[in-house]
Amino acid sequence: MQYLLLCCLLPNVFSFAFTIGSDFLSNPPVSFHSQPISSSTSLHQTTIPNNMADSDFVNATENGEIPTFGKSDKAKATDFANYFCSYAQLYHQKQMLADHNRMAAYHAAIMGNADVFKDKVVMDVGTGSGILAAWAAQAGARRVYAIEYTDMAKHARSVMEANNLADIVTVIQGAVEDVELPIKEDGLVTEDEESNENQVVDIIISEWMGYFLLRESMLDSLIRARDKFLKPKTGLMFPSHTNMYLAPIYDEDERQLSNQDYNGAMGEWSQFAETTKSTYGVDMSVLTQAYEREQREYFLLSSRWAELPRNAIMAPPALVKRLDMITCTLEDSKGIMAGDEDACFDFDIDTRNVSAQSISGFAGWFDADFKSRTDEAGAKAPKLSNPSYLTTGPEAGYTHWGQQVFHAMSSIPLINGETTRIQGSLEMTRSKDNARLYNCRIRYVSSRRKSEEGKDGKVLMKGSPVEHVYQIP
């Protein structure tokens, strides 16, 4: 899913497009929380029962989880205003449905494995306009429960009726964390006597992915639905596995444009401060440092959506996180932590293999597999004879997810006949004030050696350590 900001925020409370708290850059909490962009708000936070943040603006629980799981009406209202309301717009649904790479991957996964869906009980988490649920029914599912939190549920019901699927697909409006299935009424059964009475679903399908996979934090809802409803030994998740990648890129025109925008904003401020002082007799220059910080975060330390060409990638991407949708946990969904198995990267950029003269920064994207279970407990689960695959990398062409680009503050020059090595790590953690948004901390050191030297050959130059925190708006 793609996140879209629309003018559907609560009246007199939200007239902004997401605050990415700047405290993180100056006062990072121990667990590395905080985040994204636009006008700032005044936060007053106290603790109330159920560990929910009692604030008009905070969109996270005290434990950094999304507010839909809990009993704070205020937090849920904030979450709806910040996140869900955009998905109630047909314009937004159309944008996703017009993403043909997305559509083709899901269609192939479902219709190409109709034997797996035949006579099964399916749940579609976040059904939107209902197309995945419709495909599941067309593939032969016995019952499909399409869960949708927003009023888009009304449109989904219309789609089912128009396609003569209403007798198979039941659209349920509500948060998946709160819904109950009509187990007795529909004759739903568990796979064995050991299972929880709610574990009656054979397949969960969902298009839950956000920018750089995790942004939006819908994975939390999916995990809770899986643990509550999916048959543990034979159940299937669509997609079944996801991976996150990071690679060095050449994107110098855009990087320089961001710098020009930043410099232009600071030049305008300088003129503003001088005019205010000379015309109105008030010196505003005391605010220059704070204004500079705002502009730096917005123009230079915010990731950018991009549709990069293949040749922008300067080295094979590093796999920085992998998720098995059957076994991943709520802790896994919180991001990439320092010390995680795949959090480090080591790139070699050989000038004999690239035409660019510098490295502009990094790009992140994800892919998703629709294939058979690989966990031990799922040995008896149905096998997919026709696996499907979705990638949002540059090789895919357009997807509405695109890639997230993290431009370097200054480019890294490449020298003919030499190989530049970039060693570092990535952390990606939820914003303190909005659990659906993330910050990325990228640390790296660059060095150069003669291209004929091995990876650990004689170092000709080694730069100082670089560290930046980017917000994913």
Angle at 405 between CA 343 and CA 252, to 5 degrees: 125
| SS3 per residue for 182-209 | CCCCCCCCCCCCCCCCCCCECEEECCCC
Q: Of 111, 101, 100, 105, which is closest to residue 134 (Cα–Cα)? A: 111
- Residue 424: phi and psi, rounded to 5, are -175, -160
Provide DSSP, 69-103. SSS-HHHHHHHHHHTGGGGG-HHHHHHHHT-HHHH
Asked if 443 contacts 424 with a C-beta cutoff of 8 angstroms, the reply is yes
Task: Give the amino acid at 404.
Answer: Q
207 is catalytic: yes
Which entry of 148, 216, 297, 427 is annotated as an active-site residue? 216
Which entry of 65, 193, 197, 207 is annotated as an active-site residue? 207
CA distance to 274, 358, 421, per residue, from 351 (Å)? 47, 10, 11
Q: Of 113, 160, 106, which is closest to residue 140 (Cα–Cα)? A: 113
Asked if 88 contacts 79 with a C-beta cutoff of 8 angstroms, the reply is no
Asked if 428 contacts 236 with a C-beta cutoff of 8 angstroms, the reply is no
Q: What is the dihedral of CA 88, 91, 92, 94, to 10 degrees?
A: 120
CA distance to 66, 176, 334, 432, per residue, from 324 (Å)? 21, 20, 15, 26
Q: What is the dihedral of CA 203, 237, 166, 209, to 10 degrees?
A: 170
Asked if 171 contacts 156 with a C-beta cutoff of 8 angstroms, the reply is yes
Asked if 179 contacts 172 with a C-beta cutoff of 8 angstroms, the reply is yes
Asked if 204 contacts 225 with a C-beta cutoff of 8 angstroms, the reply is yes
Task: Give the amino acid at 473.
Answer: P
Other CB atoms within 10 Å distance of the CB of residue 271: 9
Spell out the alpha helix ranges (H) of 281-364.
Answer: 288-295, 330-333
Q: What's the full length of the chain, in residues?
A: 473
Q: What is the dihedral of CA 346, 351, 356, 358, to 10 degrees?
A: 60
Task: Give the amino acid at 455.
Answer: K
- Residue 172: phi and psi, rounded to 5, are -115, 120
180 is catalytic: no
Task: Give the amino acid at 259.
Answer: N
Residues forming the active site: 207, 216
